[in-house]
Structure 1
Amino acid sequence: MRIGTRKSTMALAQTEEIARRLSAAKPDLDVEIVKFETVGDSDQTGKLLTHGGKGGAFVAEIRAAVRAGKLHAAMHSLKDMPGNEDTPGLLIGATLARDPPTDALVLRQGLSIEEFKRSQGKGFKIGTNAVRRAAYARRLFPDIEVIHFRGAADTRVRKLDRREMQRLPGGGEAGPADALIMARSGLQRVGLAGRIACDFSPLEMLPAVGQGIVAVECAAADWQTRQYLSLIDDVSAHLSCDAEREVLWVLNGHCNSPIAGYSVIEGTQMTLTASVLDETGGQFIEASRSGPAERPRELGRAVGLELLQKGAAEIIARTRPAP
């Protein structure tokens, strides 16, 4: 089985975990990892929006190889997969058990969390490329300065410690950053969990849809590959995947929309919470519902429709790029 993935340290770690699990479940299966340098990896300064969002930057090239029959499957971080568009001929054949979905604060070496807490972020420059994280950060710490900051997880931390200025998409520079907001799961994957100064709880910063979930996509008509992938599929993570992505579908969000969504399963019940913010963090709406875990899309649809009733469409429309 040929599995496509990005060349980044984190993507390779995730794909190697998939290969290990497939080999354990099917010892006679030959698994080959095929590395891609996507446009999002080669352009480390531009806004992802210029490449069609995360889908165009990190997903499209590998998906095309699956459609062309060059790959049996593709590894994606679920949060990078667009949820507001059809993917004809493809489906998610497996999801791995969810890693911690929360966001974390990483401070530049020499700075302390006590100093950050005392100042409530005033005078700090926090780097992120995620509009959701930027919106929540401005909501939590109104006096911080958020700067555009891109790169693979380990690269970002190196840039932070070296106090590198960041080139801005429209020209000029910003920085250096004093701190970064990053996914805890990504830091763990690249061996940098020790750099986490503090975690943001879901109440403080609701995770991105699918954050912490590794997805394996394959051709819908490739029944053999689907059978193999079913051997490593985590049912709870797949249910959460379906519920949270249904919210994106209902909202028709885009890569510049600060949309968050996170589900928790307890027994046979699932609780799903989702939110929409404007980019300043000033306008904020949230919806939360519970229902049978075995009907995740119905729950996601109900939460998405409630957000629309509360005015989500207007917020999303203001963040949509001009044609």
Structure 2
Amino acid sequence: MVAVSMRIGTRKSTMALAQTEEIARRLRAAALELEVEIVKFETVGDTDQTSKLLKHGGKGGAFVAEIRAAVRSGALHAAMHSLKDMPGNEDTPGLVIGATLARDTPTDALVLRTGVSIEDIRRSRGKGFKVGTNAVRRAAYARRLFPEIEVIHFRGAADTRVRKLDNREMQRLPGGGEVGPADALIMARSGLERVGLANRIAYDFSPREMLPAVGQGIVAVECAAGDWQTRRYLSLIDDPMAHLGCDAEREVLWVLNGHCNSPIAGYSTIDGGQMTLTASVLDEAGGQVIEASRSGPADRPRELGRAVGLELLAKGAAEIIARTRPEP
């Protein structure tokens, strides 16, 4: 048996490494001749944990661009990304998503510091409480659910954020100064599960309360479009259901031409041969929300995503997105 090597790039965070190790395990099990090497990257989003991601071009610039460049140059065969971190409003010439793993729980969760309960926050409508998040979508939904809550800028790897919450640490602000400490965090349930902190979840938000981000809970493996050997190996671990959801939800982003500061959400489910896709666009304050939901054949995900995106535009989504677009 002739050994075949595959180099997969990933971020250094605990969660990213756990996701990439799972990919490597599946690849080795599917193809015994495959030797998988994990190459760790410290992206600009990892080294700069103070600035807002907008400074680095959003999550794509902060967490994806450097690893993508290594794939394009041939230094890597593939790259692992959390699908929700991959920009969907721009073309990625020369790259394709070769595999998606089965979707983890896609919803968001609330993590509380000791002495705080969800009932306390609900009763007060959030008044007097600080909730930490870096996601504009989560911030907008939090303001809808708890109108008087104070949302504070809060960044870091999943385990780091929980540690800062427990230690009541202040969070440095991009322009200087500090904010905090946080009373609660809103985070992806799947991320907390990946780093062994699911026991810290005090409340799970339903998709009705807080629609997930496009691709949330899906691990994607990207490779060069013309690297057919790598694409063949990745196809062995691809989950077809997750890939259909990936295509539908990302089509919404493409149609909306959103940006990293746009509170856009999208989530699809499949029942038999039918897919249902719901997507929304919110203003940053959470005061205005536009939503669209449609069902269609699961094997035509991009058509469904396009229809939902166009419905959102017809309802005025472009105006909301324009208001949140950073000034040049």
TM range (shorter): over 0.9
Alignment partner of 1:307 is 2:312: yes
The aligned counterpart of 1:254 is 259
SS for the counterpart of 2:186 is: strand
CA root-mean-square deviation? 0.7
1:154 Cα deviation after fit: 0.2
SS for the counterpart of 1:321 is: coil
Runs of at least 4 residues of structure 1 off by over 6 A? Answer: none
Alignment partner of 1:268 is 2:273: yes
Q: Residues of 1 paired with 2:274 and 2:127: CA distance?
A: 41
The aligned counterpart of 1:150 is 155
Q: Residues of 1 paired with 2:80 and 2:55: CA distance?
A: 23
Contact 2:122 2:146 in 1 (8 A): no
SS for the counterpart of 1:23 is: helix
Q: Map 1:88-99 to 2 at 5 A.
A: 88-99=93-104
Structure 2 unaligned regions, length at least 5: 1-5
The aligned counterpart of 1:228 is 233
Q: Scaled by the length of structure 2, what TM-score is found?
A: 0.97
Q: Residues of 1 paired with 2:181 and 2:59: CA distance?
A: 25
Q: Residues of 1 paired with 2:52 and 2:231: CA distance?
A: 34
Q: Residues of 1 paired with 2:256 and 2:242: CA distance?
A: 21
Q: Residues of 1 paired with 2:258 and 2:169: CA distance?
A: 32
- The one-letter code of the counterpart of 1:2 is R
The aligned counterpart of 1:208 is 213
Q: Map 1:76-225 to 2 at 5 A.
A: 76-225=81-230
- The one-letter code of the counterpart of 2:207 is P
The aligned counterpart of 2:59 is 54
Aligned residue among 22, 30, 33 for 2:27: 22
Contact 2:109 2:202 in 1 (8 A): yes
Q: Residues of 2 paired with 1:79 and 1:12: CA distance?
A: 16
Deviations 1:159-206 (A, max 9, x none): 001111111112221110000000000000000000000000000000
Q: Residues of 2 paired with 1:119 and 1:237: CA distance?
A: 39
SS for the counterpart of 1:31 is: strand
Q: Scaled by the length of structure 1, what TM-score is found?
A: 0.99
Deviations 1:12-38 (A, max 9, x none): 000000001001111221000000000
Structure 1 unaligned regions, length at least 5: none
SS for the counterpart of 1:30 is: strand
Q: Residues of 2 paired with 1:236 and 1:26: CA distance?
A: 22
- The one-letter code of the counterpart of 1:102 is T
- The one-letter code of the counterpart of 2:65 is A
Q: Residues of 2 paired with 1:205 and 1:10: CA distance?
A: 23
1:112 Cα deviation after fit: 2.9
1:122 Cα deviation after fit: 2.2
Q: Residues of 1 paired with 2:105 and 2:145: CA distance?
A: 21
The aligned counterpart of 2:295 is 290
Q: Residues of 2 paired with 1:135 and 1:94: CA distance?
A: 31
Contact 2:131 2:151 in 1 (8 A): yes
Q: Residues of 1 paired with 2:149 and 2:58: CA distance?
A: 26
Q: Residues of 2 paired with 1:45 and 1:108: CA distance?
A: 21
